[in-house]
Structure 1
Amino acid sequence: MTDPYVEYKRPDLQYFFDLNTNRLKTRNAENFINRLGRDNLNTLGNVSLLDIYLSRGRVVEPHYHQNASELVYCIAGSAMVSLINPFTNQLTTVTITPGQVANIPQGWWHWEVALEDQTHLLAIFDAPYPEYIFGSDLLTKTPIEVLAHTYCLDPALLRKALEPLHNETIVIGPTDECLQKSTQQQQQQQVNAHHYYPQGQYYYGHPNY
């Protein structure tokens, strides 16, 4: 059935598009998302998609789609898909592997976490354009004073905590800078542990046991 919103007599009809040329977000060479909508391929009906590549532990940040339901199909690797039912406030988490799908109804808050390196997901939408509102934008667009007052939080601490989000919409988290900082902190903790408990000075984790 033809789509009533597509003019099939126009002279510039398009039947092919390369998703690799339309990047929604690049975190690094292993973590990125390509996008397809009717603005890229003008013969599309009510369908659009995101082509998602993730390494282990990377997250498509919490978000919702205001215009469409989403069907997440796992091509390679595995992912944990979590969603919150707005009618019951119940959190549901499912794990998908190649050939399996997870369905997110329109407007439901959700996120995806890669459980393996080289995870490849295809997110399919029942709308000509994939629209989205990301959690990092909600946090940064809401005034600090409103968040602090509403939830009884220290505004100075909240401003400091949210400061890394003001530079970009995260989309794929954690950021490389965050992971690098976390690795450095772990390495420093190991150095400190070795300094306080040098080899031969403890047994079963207790000094001079």
Structure 2
Amino acid sequence: MVTRLMDYKNPDSHYSYDLKQSRFFTKNKANYINVLGPEQLRTIGDVFLLDVFLSAGNVVEPHYHSNASELIYCISGETIVSMINPSTNELKNIRIHPQQVVTIPQGWWHYFAANVDNTHVLTIYDTSELDTVWGSDVLRLTPPEVFAHTYCLDKGQIQQALQSIGETVIIGPPVDCKQKGGYSKEQAYYQPYDPPGPYYTRPMTPPYN
């Protein structure tokens, strides 16, 4: 938690902000993220917020936050939030609709996808300085020979598979993606849920069958 000393008598202090003025990431006109933190609004306190817009099939890539818990609030559309519970090694998938929320504990590996067009969610964090480790950075910055040796894999195949990841992805798949051999939306996000709850869990190994 970061405590900021504010001079609330200062007439130049601002208490409102237009998030449309602060873009964090843009994939295209239907998939983008706005940001709100102390750089945009000094009076925000120990809060950080991302304003996320997604069309169907787009995914905020796997990642984790080393210094914050997260609350995901669905404003419109439909979202599948997926997280790995490190205590049970289970993958939990939770579908949320407008006015529903999901919490992500600090440090948990997670991602979320839009099931329909015009999906809009807010992600809210209990820190004013958010640290994020993106999955694409882990993949592109780890030498292929490390993956090959550690997991007994073919270095050439790893290099070929990862060569298109030249920068942080954030919202995937990339616009120019020509994916082959990937899993379908039905496998990834549209599977039926185990009653009676709004979520289902799946064992880590294998992640998708």
TM-score range, shorter chain: 0.7 to 0.9
Match of 1:171 in 2: 170
Q: Which residue of 1 aligns with 2:47?
A: 47
- Residue 36 of structure 2 contacts residue 48 of structure 2 at CA under 8 Å; is this kept in 1? yes
Structure with more helix by fraction: 1
1:163-198: per-residue Cα shift (whole Å, max 9, x none)?
1112x10000001101xx359xxxxxxxxxxxxxxx
Give the letter for the 1:86 counterpart.
Answer: P
Report how many residues are paired. 178
Q: What percentage of aligned pairs have identical amino acids?
A: 49
1:162 and 1:10 map into 2 onto residues whose CA distance is: 53
How high is the TM-score relative to the length of structure 1? 0.81
1:108 aligns with 2:105: no
Alignment partner of 1:30 is 2:30: yes
SS of 2:176's partner is helix
Paired residue secondary structure (2:42): coil
Secondary structure, aligned partner of 2:62:
strand
Segments of structure 1 that go 5 or more residues without pairing to the other structure are 184-209
Deviations 1:13-37 (Å, cap 9, x if unpaired)? 2222221121111010000011111
Give the 3-state SS of the residue equivalent to 1:20 in structure 2: helix
Task: Could you list the structure 1 runs, at least 4 aligned residues long, displaced by more than 6 angstroms after superposition.
Answer: none
Give distance in 2, aligned partners of 1:10 and 1:125: 27
Sort the Cα spacing of 1:155 and 1:13 in 2 relative to 1 into closer, same or farther, 3 A: same
RMSD across aligned positions (CA): 1.6
Query: In the aligned structure 1, how far is the partner of 2:28 from the partner of 2:140?
Result: 23
The TM-score, its normalising length taken from structure 2, stands at: 0.81
Distance 1:61 1:4 in 2: 30
Structure 1: distance between partners of 2:145 and 2:54: 35
Larger-gyration structure (1/2): 1
Q: Which runs of 5+ in 2 are unaligned?
A: 181-209
Whether the 8 Å CA contact 1:6–1:45 is kept in 2: the answer is: no
The match for 1:146 is 146
Give, in whole Å, the separation in 2 of the partners of 1:132 and 1:14: 27
2:37 is matched by which residue type in structure 1?
G
How far apart are residue 10 of structure 1 and its match? 7.3
Single out whichever of 130-139 and 96-105 deviates more from structure 2. Answer: 130-139
